[in-house]
Structure 1
Amino acid sequence: MTRTLFHNGTIWTGTGSTVSALTTRNGRIEAVGAEALARTADAIVDLEGGLLLPAFGDGHCHPDHAGFEAMGPRVRECGSVEEIVEEVRRYALAHPDAEWIVGASYDSTLVPGGVFDARWLDAAVPDRPVVLRAWDYHTVWCNTEAMRRAGLSASTPDTARGTYARRADGELLGTMYEWDAVDAVLGAAPARTTGDLVRALRLATESYAAAGVTWIQDAWVEHRSVMAYIEAARQGALATRVNLGLRADPARWRDQLAEFAADRDRVRALHDDRLTANTVKFFMDGILENRTASLLDPYSDDPCARGMPIWPYEELLEAFTAVDAMGLQAHLHAIGDGGVRTALDAVEHVIRVNGPRDRRPVIAHVQVLDEADLPRFAELGVIANLQPLWARIDAAMTELTFPRIGAERARRQYLIGSLLRAGARVAFGSDWPVSDHRPLAGLPVAVTRENAEREPAGGWLPEERLTFDDALSAYTAGVAYQAFAEEDRGVLAPGKVADLVWLDADVRRMDPHDIALRSAVRGTWMAGTRIHPPSDRSSAL
């Protein structure tokens, strides 16, 4: 039972204090402060003036998608349509045996309105299907051959859960929005193999370990992917803990109840705390950028549109109630103020029908929030999971979001400070690969509400800025609470599990804008075992 001493730096405990030393033993924190210094250590970690704190968590992400992005084609870095097309051409030439070319995630702001033409991809690959997801993962752009293989044509109708961009003559343009339309294309592509999924999960979780993260919530897991996760766990391919959010499908949720129970039991049978399956994901709506987020009032640039609710309301209540009765945690995607209200109403209904229990429902994103719903988070025990990196003004905000929702609703976006002041539990996530998974990238925005150009000076909606301690707590104790793990993780105190991250500088004392550029993760420990830098792995993204 090796005792390890961490010293010669600042140790942020997350309990309102800092200490100068900490010891771990048998996977747990043994002592802090002077008591730690009094112990005889078998191993010593010299923090070299850096900062030690509880390991970070990510309460909402999509690691398999991130892993597949890294495997290519790599279009995220492309700054123009021409660059995307050239990257697709390069990938196609390098992979002549690939039946379909499926990638992500292009920047929708590169084209006015985010509408992309199939013919642009045809110029690079005319004879094989190409399907690219946008960075929002609610939109796809494909070539003509992909539409042909999927059986799509001008006669293909829009549905309540999916629409197609069209040319003036009614022909499909090549851009599809939301579930039914996106699935119509991707459903025709060959399924990913278990081997490919395991590789993607290894890449993604190693990247999380390198970012100081030891627990993540995969917020979108299909039934067929559960076995790949189990195989990854068996192979030791998961570098971090992962909780699976099994997606509830409005079209077949009744049949899924048995699947959810079976998947949870299969995961439990592993007896491996790196993998759990305790959560079910519900999508309330889409996103603002393509006008599918559900709004209480019409879109400012389309008075006939109020978004796309994913569930018929009575079906949502019935499904949510059934899932809750199984003891599973609900994780609800809600972007628009209408989607958020629907999610809160559903939680209230479940509490009334199923009675009190420690259920900790999560509403993720909470982009636009009606002020009347602000106190309901605390009242109903709902955790608000927000992506701090989104709380800034960027091209997506100015070119797509602001025109869609208008000035008044723009001032009701990402009310993180208001939620905390109202007593709500707040946990941070990244939605990776939609945005950067590194907490050191999200932290500066949480405390400044400024973009990389330091605009607007003083912050966008400055009253919503957080203190460093509150922002760090949202990444640590907040996520631990979301994971039902606050007894073990989230703060540094004797008896807690030794999940630690060592930064090379005390970020609380830095210019926030320098954090992502001038600070780094020196080490990550999970239950006392160092997982970054790894001794035998070098494949992190």
Structure 2
Amino acid sequence: MSVVRPPEPSGTVLHGGVVWSPGDDLDHHAVAVHDGRVLALDEDAVEWGRAHDAEFVDVAGRFVMPAFADGHAHPLFGGLESDGPQVRAQTSVDGIVAEVARYAAAHPDDEWVVGASYESSLAPDGLFDARWLDAAVPDRPVFLRAWDYHTAWVNSRALELAGITADTPAPVLGELPRRADGSPLGTLREWGAVDLVTAVMPPRTVEAQVGALERAGRHYASLGLTWVQDAWVEPEQLDAYLAAAEQDRLPIRFNLALYADPRRWPGDLGVLLEGRARVQALGRPRLTANTVKFFADGVVENATAALLEPYTTEPDSRGMLVWSPEQLAEAVAAVDAHGFQPHIHTIGDDAVRVGLDAVEHARRVNGDRDRRAVLAHVQLVDPADRERFHELGVVANAEPLWAQLDSLMNVLTVPRLGDRRAATQYPLASLLGHGARLSFGSDWPVSSAAPLEGVAVACSRQTDEREPAAGWTPHERLRVEHALAAYTSGTAHQAFRRAGTLRPGDDADLVVLSGDPRTVAHPRDLDTLAVTSTWLAGRRIHSATEGQP
């Protein structure tokens, strides 16, 4: 006896709640989606649904909006963190060491003990000693990345295998802090130093990386995210992405920023072109590689961010430019000429200026076009440079969760910058006021991937404890609508996507929230809202409770 199955619905209509789109003056009550696109709103959506036998989903008074998108993150790193010792949750050096010892004992066959992301502020000046890890694992190498992924902490066995001794010179683009006798301490700053150890580590298998990407994608979907900019992809990681896409194991959309290394430039240009060609040849809609990543500088916490004025704690240093201004300008122009989108890590105000100068050079050399170059992080932006984002069409990508006076800020950042300069960090409202296109990201796993946590800080400039009471630098707080737009239409603009709003023809990527963010009594409580469901191309890919809209 054959079973007659009902036909698949020809589309979906979400109704019964508030439907909101960035930039709209009015709220809506229904949205219709079909074939991966938004079709109509309000009565037009309802009428279309009835005429085409669509599935009607009652969201029961909840809040429907475009899905979030993350303009700067590291999904593979985040997915891999679950494979090692869980050091992120530890609140003391002793706690980290104990967790490393526990993991090593439970995994006696692991050749290396590898984990992330420890809290740098747990040791004075962020300096961690190899001998502390030796107490936990003396016979096998240990490699831990700090939360910032610009710093690592290793034990003596790892130093030995990497050949790092008192006689090892300071590496190009890196620092090796030393003890008083000249021996290496065990902290590695920036990739020139970190690479000395990673060069002797066994690579992760492709399958392990594919599994990590799959976990990361599911995590993002649970947070209402459907598109992520992976902001640092090297050939090994590209292989993993290609394998995951070919196996249909990418739960959401990813765009890859292929990494340009000044130590290998201009030879890297061919590698970048080949990498993009491989992704295009595979032809999977959830994977693109349209972007090239540059590091202009490091991070304030290491005193490697490039500043216009010296560090307060190190008056002879203004940090580190990874590329010379001339080299960066030529490299940005070169990738721009091949149609890549430049994506430049810029923390310090000098790095921001150098990044803007590089984009201006690319425009001068290659002509004026809609290139949407991205400056990521924009922690310090000199007032003289804020208008230039609008003038050059540069996207200001910020990680809003960082704009708070938490322990990291108080212990490592403010002392290095001084109070005056520290109070100018993350000028989000100022950049918007100067006409900049603002997009938001998380830099996960550096910080939480949850967009609502970032929105809560962007709108309050407060910690979880609501400190300070008036908000830190309250003039830089954003309205809720502007913060949500930065995580939706702002990132869609960055991505060259027709998405981020609910205009007919946009990608039907949606998120349903438990309540209306605009009516939350205190902005710091925005992260108490829950993601009820996430929709990619009109299909539900996550539901907080099975069957829940």
TM-score range, shorter chain: over 0.9
Name the amino acid aligned to 1:529.
R
Query: Which of 37, 43, 62 is the aligned partner of 2:46?
Result: 37
Give the CA deviation at 1:10. Answer: 0.6
Once the two structures are superposed, residues 284-303 of structure 1 have per-residue CA deviations (whole angstroms, 9 ceiling, x without a partner) of: 00000010000111101111
CA distance in 1 between partners of 2:365 and 2:110 (Å):
51
Query: Which of 196, 199, 205 is the aligned partner of 1:193?
Result: 205
Number of the residue aligned with 2:289? 277
CA distance in 2 between partners of 1:73 and 1:223 (Å):
26
Number of the residue aligned with 2:36? 27
Aligned residue pair count: 533
CA distance in 2 between partners of 1:10 and 1:145 (Å):
58
Gapped regions of structure 1 (runs ≥ 5): 537-541
Query: Which of 53, 72, 81 is the aligned partner of 2:65?
Result: 53
Query: Which of 394, 406, 421 is the aligned partner of 1:382?
Result: 394
Give the CA deviation at 1:389. Answer: 0.3
- Does structure 2 conserve the Cα–Cα contact (< 8 Å) formed by 1:343 and 1:363? yes
- Does structure 2 conserve the Cα–Cα contact (< 8 Å) formed by 1:244 and 1:279? yes
Give the TM-score of the pair, scaled to structure 1.
0.97
Query: Which of 520, 524, 530 is the aligned partner of 1:520?
Result: 530
Greater shift in the superposed pair: 38-47 or 142-151: 38-47
Q: How does 1:389-408 map to 2 (within 5 A)?
A: 389-408=401-420
Query: Which of 17, 21, 39 is the aligned partner of 1:9?
Result: 17
Give the CA deviation at 1:224. Answer: 2.0
CA distance in 1 between partners of 2:23 and 2:431 (Å):
20
- Does structure 2 conserve the Cα–Cα contact (< 8 Å) formed by 1:103 and 1:133? yes
- Does structure 1 conserve the Cα–Cα contact (< 8 Å) formed by 2:133 and 2:154? yes
Query: Which of 321, 346, 352 is the aligned partner of 1:340?
Result: 352
Query: Which of 251, 262, 270 is the aligned partner of 1:250?
Result: 262
Number of the residue aligned with 1:100? 112
Number of the residue aligned with 1:233? 245
Give the CA deviation at 1:458. Answer: 2.1
Number of the residue aligned with 2:375? 363
Q: How does 1:467-478 map to 2 (within 5 A)?
A: 467-478=479-490
Name the amino acid aligned to 1:512.
P
Give the TM-score of the pair, scaled to structure 2.
0.95
- Does structure 2 conserve the Cα–Cα contact (< 8 Å) formed by 1:160 and 1:308? no
How much is the aligned-residue C-alpha RMSD, in angstroms? 1.3
The answer to whether residue 103 in structure 2 is matched with residue 91 in structure 1 is: yes
Give the CA deviation at 1:27. Answer: 1.7
Number of the residue aligned with 1:265? 277
Number of the residue aligned with 1:439? 451
Once the two structures are superposed, residues 225-260 of structure 1 have per-residue CA deviations (whole angstroms, 9 ceiling, x without a partner) of: 211101000111111100000110001122211111
Give the CA deviation at 1:379. Answer: 0.6
CA distance in 2 between partners of 1:250 and 1:14 (Å):
39
The answer to whether residue 227 in structure 2 is matched with residue 215 in structure 1 is: yes
Gapped regions of structure 2 (runs ≥ 5): 1-8
- Does structure 2 conserve the Cα–Cα contact (< 8 Å) formed by 1:48 and 1:504? no
Name the amino acid aligned to 2:12.
T
Once the two structures are superposed, residues 395-422 of structure 1 have per-residue CA deviations (whole angstroms, 9 ceiling, x without a partner) of: 1111111110112211211000000010
**SS of aligned partner of 1:493:** coil
CA distance in 1 between partners of 2:391 and 2:12 (Å):
43
Name the amino acid aligned to 1:533.
S
CA distance in 1 between partners of 2:352 and 2:172 (Å):
19
Give the CA deviation at 1:535. Answer: 11
CA distance in 1 between partners of 2:80 and 2:429 (Å):
34
Once the two structures are superposed, residues 175-200 of structure 1 have per-residue CA deviations (whole angstroms, 9 ceiling, x without a partner) of: 11012111111221111111111011
Query: Which of 498, 517, 533 is the aligned partner of 2:543?
Result: 533
**SS of aligned partner of 1:158:** coil
**SS of aligned partner of 2:177:** strand
CA distance in 2 between partners of 1:345 and 1:403 (Å):
29
**SS of aligned partner of 2:153:** strand
**SS of aligned partner of 2:471:** coil
Once the two structures are superposed, residues 478-510 of structure 1 have per-residue CA deviations (whole angstroms, 9 ceiling, x without a partner) of: 00000001xx21101222221100011112211
CA distance in 2 between partners of 1:84 and 1:240 (Å):
33
Number of the residue aligned with 2:4? none
